[in-house]
Structure 1
């Protein structure tokens, strides 16, 4: 009777179940986009269908799992996964231990060293011995026991690896809050005793007042604080049934069956299990598709640590880099703060809840964040330096500086009224004209520095326009509940100068000032009087330069309009390189911070993600930087704690400290252009040298120097020693028997 029912169910879902393929290994990394497109083109039922859980695709997935021994019975390898008793599925059936057959050649085709080890003669002898002691015989060539450990270090490692962060278990609410398809996020847990009571939409508190639904830009529609916690959706962070069912689900995917990813919990669990079993290629395309199906891409913005860990485990380069951008900038904002932020381990400065990363991933983020912080300090030092226009390569300013040298040379080669050595009335007049020109030059030079200081100070205190601020606050509603929510503008009011360089509106305002003729920092209004005075005196002094008239007065005049155009172009280039990176995937909820990392920051990623980290540790300095260490030392001038030495190149190493490096890094993104800066002490009009200060005080120009792996084979009381070494030597590989044909 059961066989007839199963046959009928299989016939009903025949169109939805692709037949097993001979090669279960997904396509190579180059085909990720193609695979994603193919997956996205599949017809999906309407999101308005509240009964989507009963659809054939998910029902077939559950049927296969419950009766996998009937579905898979023709392979040469018996798989054993023992289940604890007393747990129900969505189908109201109790989960029981599973024994089913798979093909050894498909296990080996994944490239997994774990499967190769389990199929080796040594392991097979242990499995066979264990069954013989239990009085069983197996008519299959191979046997593997994938039952998770229930005690010891293996269990602890698996609990760490497979425990779901709260942001993952709560992602089902994004169906209603963010408009994400229920087929991606609303799936039930594998242990589901209250199947009929599991809500699809959020359950609102009695105090909730329904708002008028708008377009997509009005999302999220429901505040986190307005959602009532329901027992049926409050799943355990670790579940032994979820663990075991997804082992079976992964084996079915290796056999070529459809992989149904209908929740963040399932994606996270499958990724961790695939990492433990060293067969991540099996699910890479499916998880990549799940993450990129808009608007589910917001999972990357809102759960950056989780997305980073998933993508790192599966070696998905684009998502690894995108999540890395967010984590590095958020960490750098902490590093650049005047004081260590409160609850920095739990929340970012903008309130996004943080999730702990494994130590190796956390180290990568810390190094990159410190490198970004060093680059910000160098750029800020360039802003405060009197070499600002030189570093920006403003040709009109360089010509102006050269004229100053010409004036000084002309004065030094002749007599001076103050020397008392004037021999004629002509010499006296010449020296007086040149001295007045030098005074005018010095005044214009000072005013140029004052203008630079003014526009930078204005940009530091600038805010985003109202509509943009509203967008920032709306985006942050996705992860900040009402009691903790502070407007973005109030948060940035306490930023240091260095932190402001990691906000987009700083660069927007800085680039706009030279062309904003109605604004307070319009260059023409600020400099016209001093430029006219300099040019008038230059006209009178030109005959006395270089012995009399060899210079074209028109060519060496200061052309204010040309200077304004060049300055605007240079600042606009900075704005573009700092705020307009070529993102690998859409990031729509992180617009309030810049994400343009340079290759110096990306170098800590592995080779497959476009970094330089080949596993040898060469990209890291001997001393791990403490990215959490705040400013130390008295007074407005301070130095940060232990830092990573900043190199002028992401490839060539240097033993210079940030204070010794003579470059100012001005660009970000996929390439870095470093130019000589010769940054030196800046002087305010009264000649007093001022130190760098990043606290919110008046701006003055200044010099600035600045995965655990769990062993699946347990040592039970069968008298056999436990092999804790997961590495497979050449002998073990050579002894894996060829599968029967």
Structure 2
């Protein structure tokens, strides 16, 4: 009976007084909490002042005898346990009844606790308890026992089931040299405590490796590890679920929260989310993820880290994990052929786990934005306008010289004599014609040099000095049977995929200064440059229109200036694409370009530095303005011709939304008058390929939205089969004011 259990608990509490100095929950910013927690936890195992092992023992003792530890408060917490489950101390887990303070529960801001403590819920629960013949002396009572059936149970099973990377993270203690007090903790259902290993069981084929203290490499490969049965914990455990509910409540009360394993961190995060009190554990989980080298958890179990950080609202880790997921998804999209088992493994072999639908949508939209940026950049690099992308003065001067040559050739006589256009100067025509030929030869040679730069960068991985380092990093998560060399994987990359690798940008930036290479610009372009400069001097008198000095510099191509300016421009481009500016250390993803822009980050929530405010606006395309305004009233509303308002990502409009004015037509309709940079006319005859973004095919999201609206309207409005409006309907329309 409940009353008898409470009486027994009071008697035990007199024998074992509660702790009067519980460790308070860290307050303040995340970084302050992380520093405080790290200073408290990162002592050596032999430190007599603070024994981490004693924390684990205290945690277990407190949970087993929580009714003794927590016997003060106005709220009785009930957590019922199934029978037959043992703890690490060989004690059986039994149902728990303990007291906490309602004001601390409500201080979390949890809507769940507020609902459970509401008069309506309290009356219902107390009536149910009274039917069993029990009496309760506390002011409030809440039953946090998980549902045994129904939709709630199914949802919680999904949220609390451990992914494989979480279950196996205990091996990182030996493999990645992570403290055992962060990753080696036992499961809450632990019937064979003495048999649970701390280190991995090695196969007979294992050979110890020697490595320096500065090397951060796995000491043992995954395929060299034998299965350890006591470490094969189940995906979902009802005892693990209940014990961590109690841990969470104790953390609210201010007791020490011990995070000694990835399963515990993952389970507590899910439970805190279910109970709407994630702020209680945010600082502790943040500290656990940033305790180096445990940051490898973000690189290797990226989806899990992203989900945990998103759930707890940890902005830095959310952004860091998001970078990896977006780039990996973009690599899949840019592949020439669909990657094998892309749902299970990334292109570089990292095991994947499923994300919730809302998080998957965010990653998909951002990766498509990155794909668009990559394809646009590649098109620019491959086009004849390659040098126009950069501010290379020497090249601009060269192009201007070509315009001057063609202008001069279009005239039939020399500007320096009085001959009529019917008597052209043969020498002038020959010199200018030869100069134009030389100009075209140099222009072609410059494009050839650009093509070689791209070709060399695309194939750079074969001799890349850091590729072996990247392959060693991949050993952290790829077993030997699946571990193809990185150079082999990249040899099958499409051109666009190369732009998401660091070696592509490193080589494209270093090409102009490769003095030992066969295509050093001072050698490769020298012959054509000399010929162009010589012919420019000879033809100068026919180009200067009486002012020889005006064109003296125009027809003097300086190779050194061109090389230096090109190198500087490529260095800036390299920096733009590769500058990581990471929020947290990512040691295992150096083989990926993770320098996202705000265009990709916009899909993150506001608290993570994105623009996603929950309205769904960031996922919708810009709605075009109506050119002719509405035609017809009421449900039959339809627009006239429309014009797209999206601007090119290369040439953005310098107008802000505040500069959009509203003009009123004489018919009384209001339309937006949007200022344009195009001058008097927005119609051009020389539309380039880059203007092909304008499309008359509605986006998939727009079609889906239209279907949704149509479905909703069908419940409230009659279906309109035609755009024709009868005279009676028109008669209801007011005439515009004159």
What is the TM-score with the length of structure 2 in the denominator? 0.81
Larger radius of gyration: 2
Summarize the alignment of residues 352-501 of structure 1 with structure 2, pairs less than 5 Å apart.
352-415=350-413, 427-463=425-461, 465=463, 467-501=465-499
Give the alignment partner of residue 663 of structure 1, picking from 632, 635, 650: 650
* 1:153 lines up with 2:140 in the alignment: no
Deviation (angstroms), 1:415 = 3.6
1:180 and 1:655 map into 2 onto residues whose CA distance is 54
Deviation (angstroms), 1:464 = 6.1
Deviation (angstroms), 1:387 = 1.3
In structure 2, the CA distance between the partners of 1:448 and 1:454, relative to structure 1 (3 Å rule), is same
1:10-31 deviation digits (Å, cap 9, x = unpaired): 89xx8xx95365xx6x535xx1
Give the alignment partner of residue 66 of structure 1, picking from 64, 67, 71: 64
SS in structure 1 opposite 2:348?
coil
SS in structure 2 opposite 1:601?
helix
- Kept in 2, the 8 Å contact 1:422–1:428? The answer is no
Give the alignment partner of residue 161 of structure 2, picking from 151, 163, 173: 163
* 1:591 lines up with 2:590 in the alignment: yes
SS in structure 2 opposite 1:80?
strand
Counterpart of 2:209? 211
1:604 and 1:366 map into 2 onto residues whose CA distance is 10
Counterpart of 1:262? 260
In structure 2, the CA distance between the partners of 1:466 and 1:542, relative to structure 1 (3 Å rule), is closer
SS in structure 1 opposite 2:226?
coil
Summarize the alignment of residues 28-39 of structure 1 with structure 2, pairs less than 5 Å apart.
28=28, 31-39=29-37
2:556 and 2:592 map into 1 onto residues whose CA distance is 41
- Kept in 2, the 8 Å contact 1:90–1:195? The answer is yes
- Kept in 1, the 8 Å contact 2:464–2:503? The answer is no
Deviation (angstroms), 1:38 = 1.0
- Kept in 2, the 8 Å contact 1:385–1:681? The answer is no
In structure 2, the CA distance between the partners of 1:407 and 1:332, relative to structure 1 (3 Å rule), is same
Number of aligned pairs?
A: 625
In structure 2, the CA distance between the partners of 1:10 and 1:547, relative to structure 1 (3 Å rule), is farther
- Kept in 1, the 8 Å contact 2:537–2:555? The answer is no
In structure 2, the CA distance between the partners of 1:681 and 1:106, relative to structure 1 (3 Å rule), is closer
1:256-305 deviation digits (Å, cap 9, x = unpaired): 00100000000000000000111000000000000001000010000100
Q: Which runs of 5+ in 2 are unaligned?
A: 1-7, 623-642, 653-676, 679-685, 691-738
1:82 and 1:92 map into 2 onto residues whose CA distance is 19
In structure 2, the CA distance between the partners of 1:376 and 1:53, relative to structure 1 (3 Å rule), is same
Counterpart of 1:612? 611
1:10 and 1:553 map into 2 onto residues whose CA distance is 97
- Kept in 1, the 8 Å contact 2:412–2:421? The answer is no
Counterpart of 2:183? 185
Counterpart of 1:345? 343
1:331 and 1:517 map into 2 onto residues whose CA distance is 38
1:130-154 deviation digits (Å, cap 9, x = unpaired): 1011111111111111100111111
Larger relative contact order (Cα-Cα within 8 Å, sequence gap ≥ 6): 1
1:394-428 deviation digits (Å, cap 9, x = unpaired): 12111111111111122223349xxx987558x22
Counterpart of 2:572? 573
- Kept in 1, the 8 Å contact 2:17–2:69? The answer is no
Counterpart of 2:528? 530
Give the alignment partner of residue 546 of structure 2, picking from 545, 548, 573: 548
Counterpart of 1:335? 333
In structure 2, the CA distance between the partners of 1:465 and 1:42, relative to structure 1 (3 Å rule), is farther
- Kept in 2, the 8 Å contact 1:298–1:588? The answer is yes
- Kept in 1, the 8 Å contact 2:398–2:554? The answer is no
2:58 and 2:10 map into 1 onto residues whose CA distance is 15
Deviation (angstroms), 1:211 = 2.2
- Kept in 2, the 8 Å contact 1:89–1:190? The answer is yes
1:466 and 1:574 map into 2 onto residues whose CA distance is 20
1:655-685 deviation digits (Å, cap 9, x = unpaired): 578xx946289xxxxxxxxx99x99579xxx
In structure 2, the CA distance between the partners of 1:9 and 1:578, relative to structure 1 (3 Å rule), is farther
- Kept in 1, the 8 Å contact 2:52–2:181? The answer is no
Counterpart of 2:194? 196
Counterpart of 1:130? 128
- Kept in 2, the 8 Å contact 1:243–1:269? The answer is yes
- Kept in 2, the 8 Å contact 1:352–1:479? The answer is yes
1:502 and 1:655 map into 2 onto residues whose CA distance is 31
1:604 and 1:306 map into 2 onto residues whose CA distance is 19
Deviation (angstroms), 1:339 = 1.3
1:238 and 1:299 map into 2 onto residues whose CA distance is 21
- Kept in 2, the 8 Å contact 1:378–1:664? The answer is no
Give the alignment partner of residue 304 of structure 1, picking from 302, 307, 310: 302
Q: Which runs of 5+ in 1 are unaligned?
A: 624-653, 666-674, 683-741
1:216 and 1:249 map into 2 onto residues whose CA distance is 37
1:367-410 deviation digits (Å, cap 9, x = unpaired): 00111001000000101111111111212111111111111122
SS in structure 2 opposite 1:91?
coil
Give the alignment partner of residue 19 of structure 1, picking from 17, 22, 47: 22
Deviation (angstroms), 1:101 = 0.8
- Kept in 1, the 8 Å contact 2:45–2:52? The answer is no
Deviation (angstroms), 1:110 = 0.5
- Kept in 2, the 8 Å contact 1:386–1:680? The answer is no
Deviation (angstroms), 1:554 = 2.9
2:400 and 2:46 map into 1 onto residues whose CA distance is 71
2:214 and 2:64 map into 1 onto residues whose CA distance is 39
2:216 and 2:378 map into 1 onto residues whose CA distance is 37
- Kept in 1, the 8 Å contact 2:13–2:71? The answer is no
- Kept in 1, the 8 Å contact 2:73–2:100? The answer is yes
Counterpart of 2:657? none
* 1:221 lines up with 2:208 in the alignment: no
Counterpart of 1:281? 279
1:584 and 1:311 map into 2 onto residues whose CA distance is 13
- Kept in 2, the 8 Å contact 1:102–1:255? The answer is yes
2:320 and 2:458 map into 1 onto residues whose CA distance is 27
SS in structure 1 opposite 2:76?
strand
In structure 2, the CA distance between the partners of 1:5 and 1:76, relative to structure 1 (3 Å rule), is closer
- Kept in 2, the 8 Å contact 1:381–1:679? The answer is no
SS in structure 1 opposite 2:539?
helix
